[in-house]
Amino acid sequence: MLKKYASVVAAAGLVTLAPSAFAAPVATASSPDGNVKVELTIDGDGRVAYSVSRKGKPILAPSKLGFLFTDVVKLDRRISVTGQETRDFDETWTQPWGEWTSIRNRYRELKVHLKETTAIGRVFTVTFRLYEDGVGFRYEFPEQPNMPQANIADELTEFAFASDATAWWKPAFLWNREEYLYNKTPLSAVSNADTPVTMKLADGTHVTLHEAALVDYSGMAVARTDGNTLRAALHPGAGEAKVQKKGAWQTPWRTLIIADDAAGVYQSHLMLNLNEPNKLGDVSYIKPGKFAGVWWNMIKGEWSWARGPKHGATNENVKRYIDFAAANKIPHLLVEGWNVGWDGDWFGNGYDMDFAKPTEDFDVKMLVAYAKKKGVRLMGHHETGGAATHYEKQFDKAFKFAADNNYMVVKTGYVTDAAQMEREDADGKKFREWHQGQWMVNHQIRVLEKAAEYKIGIDAHEPVKGTGLHRTYPNYVAREGMRGMEYNAWIGGKNPPEHEANVVFTRMLEGPMDFTPGVLSLKGSEDSDILSTIAKQLALYVVIYSPVQMAADTPENYAKYPNEMKFIRDVPTDWQETRVLNGEIGDFVTIARKERGGEGWYVGAVGDEEARSVSFKLDFLTPGQKYKAEIYRDDDDADYRTEKRHSIIIESKDVTSADSMDMRIAPGGGFAIRIVPAK
């Protein structure tokens, strides 16, 4: 049900400047529940700053606003307020798929209109939206004669944290884009970081700094300038200006989620709420579900994407994988290396890739028909190698091919160095673009819009960071954008046991991740060990959210684990409700989710390298109802460091909403529980 109201309180007029540094509050507003408060001040030089507090405690000290341009004087002082207004908003909207069906969007908005007092007299508005669990703000520039075009060298927005904190962050501007492990350091030791950055303050308050609705702008990293102050550091593009805008323009929302604990940060809907509603209309063609893949053997180096004796995407292999998917009620099968372009060393082959031309040993018509008979749909793969314009030139034929062959999702890829995305202009001149630069940000949206024309979903690897655009484009089903399971195939590059407990409270705040869980063999290349127990692999289906979730291991390996496989078969990928029951960043987390269209609950927990116990109440279950809990847990001797990493106990228990559970997690372990009404 939609409930919406808006009231406008306007207070226009010029405000007198105070002589001292940031002494005079010129505008202030609080969230509807009164918890989160923002205050705008202007100092004697006319420099504008905002500060944020929660429950009376300062989160951000006065933090400056402004822009540096490549060609005109910067905009950061001699500014006055020309007017301001507030407005309240409250509505509940529905997600076509997701972790929650229904989402409440309740905020108070404060708009502060500003103008330079100098001859240039540029005008802009800063709009704040205050939520119970944080704040988002953006700059809005109307079309104006004194600034017909903005060539932005950098954004001068500061985030001056009021105290030091522990920060979990990953480095920005490095060649491997977002695929780095998280650092845990004092905030005062952060250098350049890509957002989200999550912090724990001394009193336990958790804060995540990120952005929402990244459209026609470059991605915002942050760089520490001094003490606990971070400043926006935009990703570059091919041109001198990091961002170019014409006419009226606005920035993405700069966001702070603020909560009492780590669980509270995960449960925030602030980022989704700050995005525009669904632009695509009916997206019922997106049906959440699992997928298998002609994939893990390539990642391990046993098969090749390229044609030749080791080619993975052959008719024979694909048919065998379709049989496996059908037998396990897995609706999709990803096939990589099915198309012409991979031959030789495919790194850098972007210009050879043809996304409508299968190799000779991949008979697409026969395979699609074979799959259809068994209730399986193939899932396409478009590895662009970073040749992004070359990809755009193929859009129509590529997505038509996908639609004609009954695909629901295409997995895209941009494997290349950070600044080697290639754009071509109309004359064929090539430019290097950064992965998170303005041009690539817009490229990703062009992919989504084109795919939507053909009713195709997108699962982007090496993507632009997630900023909640899956609300606006609900065919954006998943992204990689972090070190996923593939790193566990590689000797010397494996994800440590704490990785997922970091990722939940950082990367996962960006939205769904194609992490590719479920490698039950716990083996990568050359039989190398994955640093996990088998129970943890099952837990990942609940802990790491994606509406399209992979069963990443090979059919031969899954055949060795029929009892564990039952959980992968049973676990859904679309949720009515999600509750983070407990968790500490990098240590452990337990998440409970209720399936959509059913009464079943699924609980997953992962730990780090230490053994630990966690307890939680089952009070999310319906009172009076009897349930059966199917438990997959680490056995007492399970340990990711030893041959006992496969040691698991699978057992059933009768439970009700009045019960609690005490569960042990082994080193590198976890547990998964399916709770269904007792018959």
Chain residues binding ligand NOJ by CB under 6 A are 336, 383, 413, 415, 461, 480, 486
Smallest separation, CB 591 to Ca ion (Å): 24
For residue 357, the minimal CB distance to ligand NOJ (Å) is 17
Residue 677: cis peptide before it, omega within 30 degrees of 0? no
Handedness of CA 318, 323, 329, 331 (dihedral sign): positive
Tokens of 483: 């070190």
Over its C-alpha atoms, the chain yields an Rg (Å, rounded) of 25
CA distance 31 to 33: 5
What SS3 state is found at 305?
A: coil
Choose the one of ligand NOJ, Ca ion, none that binds residue 455, judging by a C-beta under 5 to 8 angstroms depending on kind: none
**Minimum CB distance to Ca ion, residue 415 (Å):** 7
Q: Which of 99, 158, 433, 486 is catalytic?
A: 486
Neighbours of 661 (CB within 10 A): 21
Using CB under 5 A as the criterion, which residues of the chain lie in contact with Ca ion when the complex forms? 461
Nearest residue to the partner Ca ion, using Cβ:
461
Q: How far is the CB of 356 from ligand NOJ (least distance, A)?
A: 17
Structure letter (DSSP) for residue 291: E
Annotate 612-642 with b (16+ C-beta within 10 A) or e (fewer). bebebebebbeeeeebebbbbbbbeebbbee
- Would you say 181 or 415 has its CB closer to ligand NOJ? 415
Which partner from the list ligand NOJ, Ca ion, none does 413 bind, CB cut-off 5 to 8 Å by kind? Answer: ligand NOJ
> Could you tell which of Ca ion, ligand NOJ, none binds residue 336, using a CB distance below 5 to 8 A set by kind?
ligand NOJ
CA–CA gap between residue 90 and residue 6 (Å, rounded): 8
Query: Quick check: helix, strand or coil at residue 270?
Result: helix
Of the candidates 568, 555, 559, 557, the residue with the CA atom closest to the CA atom of residue 316: 555
- Give the position of tokens 């012409």: 340
Question: What tokens appear for 512 in the block?
Answer: 């769904």
- Cβ of 145: how many Cβ atoms within 10 Å? 6
- 179 catalytic per annotation: no
Strands 332-335 and 289-294, by their bridges, are parallel
| DSSP-assigned letter for residue 438 | H
Q: Which is nearer to ligand NOJ, 313 or 614 (CB)?
A: 313
Q: Which is nearer to ligand NOJ, 155 or 383 (CB)?
A: 383
Q: Are 235 and 221 in contact (CB under 8 A)?
A: yes
Closest approach of Cβ 459 to ligand NOJ, in Å?
Answer: 9
Residue 500 interacts with which of ligand NOJ, Ca ion, none, CB < 5 to 8 Å by class: none
Whether the CA torsion 99, 102, 107, 109 is positive or negative: it is positive
The backbone torsions φ and ψ at residue 123, rounded to the nearest 5 degrees and listed phi first, read -120, 145
Which two tokens mark 400? 């038509």
Both structure tokens of 18? 């105070």
Give me the least distance between CB of 352 and ligand NOJ, in Å please: 14
Of 418 and 535, CB closest to ligand NOJ: 418
- Nearest CB to ligand NOJ, comparing residues 387 and 580: 387
Determine how many CB atoms are found less than 10 A away from the CB of residue 453.
Answer: 13
Nearer to ligand NOJ, 50 or 303 (CB): 303
Nearer to ligand NOJ, 334 or 522 (CB): 334
Token couple for 367: 């395979």
Closest approach of Cβ 356 to Ca ion, in Å? 24
Q: Which residue number, 98 or 380, has a Cβ lying nearer to Ca ion?
A: 380
What gap in Å lies between CA 352 and CA 338, rounded to an integer? Answer: 13
| Residue 459 interacts with, from Ca ion, ligand NOJ, none (CB under 5-8 Å by kind) | none
Catalytic site positions: 486
